[in-house]
Structure 1
């Protein structure tokens, strides 16, 4: 295998491309000129740079796949012109983005990835808020105040507590709260079946709705759950 010398005088194989020297603009004049370009001009220029870099990458691949051909010196990729973060955020607005005819694919991928990440964060935050709100609704009364229902024992209960109680603490059958049954109870409130409650010591017995008889009137749907 023949060898040639690189710029430093070191031998290198015949099929190995010469080392590439990175070239960067360090001129303040060039930097200011690039910065002075409009966003549209920088986007178009970046698109052209990206296309040239893709051609360079293809040339390197073909050169590596065909080692018998005398290697040619392929220049380094050209750096893209900086697009500021506030300009990238503006490009996420569709009505602003459509005003530019050419946007580099690499920038499109960056914007798309950021948008997907932001949507996932929004969804996660919404799920968290919904979960916290649901948990708060279920904790409308203190846990220490909860006690299982004892048949024959009278317990006072508020309607807002009743709606949030669990199955173990429910004092009124759930199917009473369907629209049909609520309407029936409202229209026939004066004739609902009553029974005497067990009074506390020193108190008179109070009349309460006779649940078993009312179940017969409404139709007992004992398998109904809170989800239903």
Structure 2
């Protein structure tokens, strides 16, 4: 198996993923939201690059919620922003969510040529690794990044996944992927590694410190969200 990590959604735009598995990561906070919403009983999530697309889908469905952000803040007129703590079971169980974010939903759309696309964050690292281990397909981990640039929060999570897989089977990696695998090996405290990083610092500044604590929790659940036919659903029920 070959593992490759891409640093941002932009890097995935013109890449051919045919024959490969893709894992998309946007720790702060889109994929953490998706995992949380499905864990708490959301029926499915429709991810979109553009606000207009999400609104049109919601109007077509005549049901469900609009969720998303721009610059970390809730979009005007939407039901939810991009805080995973908003997506409680009481609010979203059995519901459909139409979602658009600055980076994460774009990373998903840019990876659509893959055989399989899975959604990951720190919340479900071990379950994602177990799912990937079911196949010998090459793996590309697409970090959403921040505004088309490298983001440490996503890349450390990607490194953890690559490292866990490499502990279980022989893999080939390029130098960038090896560097993130090694970062993961020697990072004993995720918060300490990330707390001075750009995106972490920005979300803290605009009042989302509670989100940050939650988003950096390892293996909170065991679901494996999968993107297929333009929707994200839960392929493994949570045991929590």
Same fold (TM over 0.5): no
Larger RCO: Structure 1 or Structure 2 (Cα < 8 Å, ≥ 6 residues apart)?
Answer: 2
Q: Normalised by the size of structure 1, how large is the TM-score?
A: 0.21
Q: Normalised by the size of structure 2, how large is the TM-score?
A: 0.20
| Structure whose CA Rg is larger | 1
